């Protein structure tokens, strides 16, 4: 149980285009989903916290107009990288919590590798 | 362009030996800790967790030790196998009442290389 999927697994796009990444909890309902970014040889950095039906909460330094997050249902959250540039190239990983109680284990998706040319 | 950032420390062990991976966490009030394994090109995989009211927890071939006095966490892997080669991250969960409640803060990570 507790499987999280992401789509696409990798994407290459031209600079200036927008890219949408989907995160789905397949066998549970996720009250909260998280989006992380990971650069090569580095740790995961939290970008934003997404709660179903409400606006996402962004971490300091993350541009909310550039990284649009929509959490339309208890099983789906999307991250759209708008007007992508080469510096946005990274590994984007989502996670989902099974419960609203703080401290529950987050289950991670397989990640999406974005390359902006 | 060239990426700039910290390079992950590396632990190299012989197959069959025990591995110990260490982690220092930042918030003395954190109440929940998790170890993750991340293989190349994949998302983090849950290994084992521990709550702050415990100082040791054992799983299958893995043991987590928590020393709250010095804010230190360790992951012990018994009889390390080639399939254990990966990057290992500790993560602390921010406690209730903090501005970061429910968020996971990841450590730097350690690369484990298992030599056959």
Question: Is A71 in a helix, a strand, or coil?
Answer: strand
d(CA B48, CA A68): 32
Residue A59: both structure tokens together: 């971490």
Task: Convert chain B into a string of H (helix), E (strand) and C (coil).
Answer: CCCCCCCCCEEEEECCCCEEEEEECCCCCCCEEEEEEECCCCCCEEEEEEECCCCEEECCCEEEEEECCCCEEEEEECCCCHHHCEEEEEEEECCCCCCCCCCEEECCCEEEEEEC
B86–chain A Cβ distance below 8 A for any pair: no
pLDDT band for position A104 (cuts 50, 70, 90): low
For position A90, what pLDDT does the model report? 97
d(CA B66, CA B28): 12
Residue B8: both structure tokens together: 């992950």
Chain A residue nearest residue B111, CA to CA: A41
User: Using an 8 Å Cβ cutoff, are A28 and A38 in contact?
Assistant: no
d(CA A106, CA B102): 10
* Chain B residues whose beta carbon lies within 8 Å of the beta carbon of residue A30: none
Helix (H) or strand (E) holding A47: strand A44-51
Q: What is the mean pLDDT of residues A25-48?
A: 92
For position A24, what pLDDT does the model report? 96
**pLDDT digits 0-9 by tens, B8-44:** 799 999 999 999 999 999 888 888 999 999 999 999 9
Of A42, A86, A108, the CB nearest to B44: A108
Choose, out of B44, B47, B101, the residue to mutate when testing the contact with A (most A CBs < 10 Å).
Answer: B44
For position B3, what pLDDT does the model report? 33
**pLDDT digits 0-9 by tens, B59-107:** 999 999 999 999 999 999 999 999 999 999 999 987 777 777 778 889 9
**pLDDT digits 0-9 by tens, A37-89:** 999 989 999 999 998 888 899 999 999 999 999 988 889 999 999 999 999 99
């Amino acid at each position: 149980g507790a499987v999280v999927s992401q789509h696409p697994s990798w994407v290459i796009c031209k600079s200036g285009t927008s890219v949408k990444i989907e995160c789905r909890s397949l066998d549970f309902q996720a009250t909260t989903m998280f989006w992380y970014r990971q650069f090569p040889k580095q740790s995961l950095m939290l970008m934003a916290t997404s709660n179903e039906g409400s606006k996402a909460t962004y971490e300091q330094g993350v541009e909310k107009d550039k990284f649009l997050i929509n959490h339309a249902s208890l099983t789906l959250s999307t991250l759209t990288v708008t007007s992508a540039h080469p510096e946005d190239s990274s590994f984007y990983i989502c996670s989902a919590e099974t419960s609203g109680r703080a401290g529950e284990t987050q289950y991670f998706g397989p990640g999406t590798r974005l390359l902006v040319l | 362009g060239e990426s700039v950032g910290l390079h992950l420390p590396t632990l190299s062990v012989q197959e069959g030996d025990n591995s110990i991976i260490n982690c220092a966490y930042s918030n003395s009030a954190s109440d929940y800790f998790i170890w993750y394994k991340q293989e190349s090109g994949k998302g983090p995989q849950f290994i084992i967790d521990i709550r702050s009211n415990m100082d040791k927890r054992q799983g299958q071939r893995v043991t987590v030790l928590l020393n709250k006095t010095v804010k230190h966490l360790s992951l012990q892997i018994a009889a390390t196998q080639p399939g254990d080669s990966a990057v290992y991250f500790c993560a602390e969960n921010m406690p209730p009442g903090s501005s970061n409640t429910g968020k996971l803060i990841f450590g730097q990570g350690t690369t484990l290389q298992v030599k056959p």
